[in-house]
Amino acid sequence: AFTQNADAQKRKYNYYDKGYWGNIEAVGGVVLSGGGSDIGISTVHGGRLGHGVAMGIGAGVYIDINNLYYAFNVPVFLETKYSPMKGGKSPFVSLRTGLSITDNLATGFYLSPAVGVDLGRVSLFARYGFNLFPMNVDIDFPELDMNINTVANVKTHALSIGIAVNF
């Protein structure tokens, strides 16, 4: 088992080979809507389909920090990744789509494209994160003895850079 594992480590990581694909990534950046910073970690597990394409299902935890205020965001997503060049070093593009749940249990749409470079088992990238949360809003007008309940779309935008370890 040890020699087989050592041999696997010597082989180049290639998205043109079929097989298991997974990664763990860490990101940090800025929140474009409202300011503050964004940090997070996520993981994806799926398969390399050949021809430079990989697909997997993933989840993450992201924290938006603005002064003393913070918000948690937990996306669950499908990621598609394309690396156009054979071998261990290649530029890539990826797209994540799915659902996101906030710390106050609001559920919304999650979209996150990325561009980067694969350097063997390590990837460096820039990722844009977009969340859209429809939320119920109560507006109270006591002087008119009126209460309005409506749905508002809360949007968050973040731009991050990160590093991933592929396995």
Arithmetic mean of pLDDT, 120-131: 94
H or E element that contains 50: strand 37-50
Per residue in 89-109, pLDDT (tens digit) is 999 999 999 999 988 778 999
Phi-psi region of 142 (alpha: psi -120 to 50; beta: other; left: phi over 0): alpha
Q: How far is the CA of 47 from the CAs of 43, 53, 72, 81, 135, in angstroms?
A: 13, 9, 29, 10, 35
Arithmetic mean of pLDDT, 151-163: 88
Entry pTM: 0.84
Query: Are the C-beta atoms of residues 102 and 75 closer than 8 Å to each other?
Result: no
Dist CA 49 CA 20 (whole Å): 9
Residue 52 pLDDT exceeds 70: yes
Arithmetic mean of pLDDT, 127-133: 92
